[in-house]
Amino acid sequence: MKQKKAEELRDSWGDKPCDHPAFAKEYDAAGERTGNYICTQCGKTISFRERAEIRATRPGLTEE
């Protein structure tokens, strides 16, 4: 998911809580991989380490 799309998701999601049910790899405007992930529900950018910690507590987590 490109950073611009994530920004649109964050704007539309607002300040509501999110349990981050799924992640997509993050890409910059040039289409290059950033190494981070984006919650496909709320648009929050998640680091590789944060994603690993979340996955450790929820083994059924999906990715796109």
Residues 9-63 have pLDDT tens digits of 999 999 999 988 899 999 999 999 999 999 999 999 999 999 888 888 887 666 6
What is the distance between the alpha carbons of residues 64 and 45, in angstroms, rounded to a whole number?
14
Q: How far is CA 14 from CA 19, 22, 46, 59, in A?
A: 14, 18, 17, 27
**Which pLDDT score is estimated for 3?**
94
**What is this structure's pTM?**
0.83
In the chain, what are the domain boundaries? 3-63
